[in-house]
Structure formats: C-alpha cells, structure tokens
Amino acid sequence: MLDSTNKKAKKNMLIQKIICSTGSSYDKLKNLSVSELNKTLKEIQLSSHPHSGCGSLKWKNCR
C-alpha cells in the first residue's frame, strides 16, 4: 500500500511541475504513466531557460 501511495505522490508532483512550466491541464496529464510524465518533464526542462523553469519562487507562486 505504501508503494502505491509513493507512486501517486510522485505522479502528482510530476503533474504539478509540468502544469507549472507549461500551463497544461490536469485532466490532460492525469492519464499518462509516470515514465511518460518523466519524459515530458525532461523535454520541457531541456527546452526552457534554466532560470525560467519551476524555480523555488515560481513554484511557490504556482502552488
């Protein structure tokens, strides 16, 4: 049970980071697997400026 809770938490964190970076909707991302979310986040991070991603200040403003 703890393992599934950790997977849910990781998936939700990835979704939040993607939403923060792109403005995508939760409904669009919730059906993706953790590996697909990781791949999407890596692509976003590679294409963005290092200081325009989900830095601590931007992350706090998104939450």
Q: What is the pLDDT of residues 12-53, one digit of tens each?
A: 999 999 998 888 899 999 999 999 999 999 988 877 655 555
Given a cut of 70, whether residue 55 has pLDDT beyond it is no
Amino acid code (one letter) for 17:
K
Per-residue pLDDT, 33? 94
Given a cut of 90, whether residue 56 has pLDDT beyond it is no
Given a cut of 60, whether residue 11 has pLDDT beyond it is yes
Per-residue pLDDT, 61? 58
Q: Provide the domain limits for residue 46.
A: 2-62
Per-residue pLDDT, 37? 95
Distance from C-alpha of 42 to C-alpha of 5, rounded to nearest angstrom: 23
Structural domain count, the chain: 1
Quick check: 44 and 21 in contact, CB under 8 A? yes
